[in-house]
Amino acid sequence: MQSSPFALCLLILGLCILWFQLLGVSAQEPLPAKCKLPKQTGRCKARFVKYYYNVKSEKCEEFIYGGCRGNRNRFDTKVKCIQECARNTLVIDRIRDIFRRIKM
């Protein structure tokens, strides 16, 4: 039995909705205050690779941290940044990727 692309899209959409419910992720979940802070490289001259949440792109991005000062929008790993700031966008990005693959 061959399924239509429309039926496949509906199935995937249903699975995505179920995934949202199981994870308890709400699209309306407020962004933590520290995630809204701008990227700050700090005043010192060290070169540590860190990650911050970019409100405009809605993604965790790499930057070079100088080693002192800065703010709380600074994470040692991209995974930690995503866990704290980009939980919703990560799920949404995965759903978009699924639909892009279907369109191909």
Q: Is 49 left (phi over 0), alpha (psi -120 to 50) or beta?
A: beta
Query: What's the CA gap between 29 and 43, in Å, rounded?
Result: 33
Give strand pairing partners of 49: 64
Six token digits for residue 62: 């790499």
The pLDDT score that the predictor gives to residue 15 is 77
Q: To the nearest whole percent, how much of the chain has pLDDT over 70? A: 67
**In the predicted model, what is the mean pLDDT of residues 83-95?**
71
Task: Please name the residues in contact with 57: beta carbons below 8 A apart, sequence gap of 6 or more.
Answer: none
| Structural domains of the chain, count | 1
17 or 39, which is more confident: 39
pLDDT at 95 over 60: yes
pLDDT at 9 over 60: yes
Q: What is the CATH number of the domain that holds 25?
A: 4.10.410.10
